Homo-oligomer: A and B are copies of this chain.
Amino acid sequence: MTQFPEVMMALDLGPLDSHVGYLLRRAQLAVFADILPSLAEHDVSPADYAVLTVIDRNPGAGQSQVAETLGIQKTNFVPLIRRMEARGLVLRTPSARDRRSVALTLTPQGNALLADLHAAAQAHIERVRSHLGSAEYDSLLEPLQRLASVSRPS
């Protein structure tokens, strides 16, 4: 016979426990919770990390291009990138061939910080990978890429 548990009994989620949207949301929060402290040590948000990564891989790209790639509105991108410039992580240089746009590049400090962030991210990914098991982890990436590619801005 089952006895009443001392801790609170979890409630029934019903159809939510196999709802892809609900599961994606909770899984994303759990995964972010794992890497958040490592990023916070460097005073960096997940969005900051993504921006630094994209600038590193696309030096000279314009603000709106970087913002749109990451699904960040250009209007919300301004304070984010300005803060990084103020921290000496990013260089904003007026483009010569299109004087409306600002070309983004990493400073040496930005590059050094990004190296630390990549290391932290790799350790984080290994934790997630070993939590799931390599096979299950690997099988996860492709479908997520297919879903993620839908949300690309027009």
Task: Name A's B-contacting residues (CB within 8 A).
Answer: 1, 3-8, 10-33, 35, 46, 50, 53-54, 56-58, 61, 65-66, 68-69, 71, 118, 121, 124-125, 128, 131-132, 136-137, 139-154
A22 to B108, CA, bound (A): 25
Total identical chains: 2
Q: Is the interface of A mostly helix, strand, loop or mixed?
A: helix
A107 to B32, CA, bound (A): 36
Known: A1-B150, A12-B58, A58-B12. A19 touches B145 (CB 8 A): no
Q: Are A14 and B57 in contact (CB under 8 A)?
A: yes
Q: Are A143 and B148 in contact (CB under 8 A)?
A: no
A125 to B6, CA, bound (A): 30
Contact of A30 among B22, B56, B150 (CB under 8 A): B150
Contact of A154 among B4, B17, B22, B128 (CB under 8 A): B4
Nearest B residue to A24, CB-CB: B28
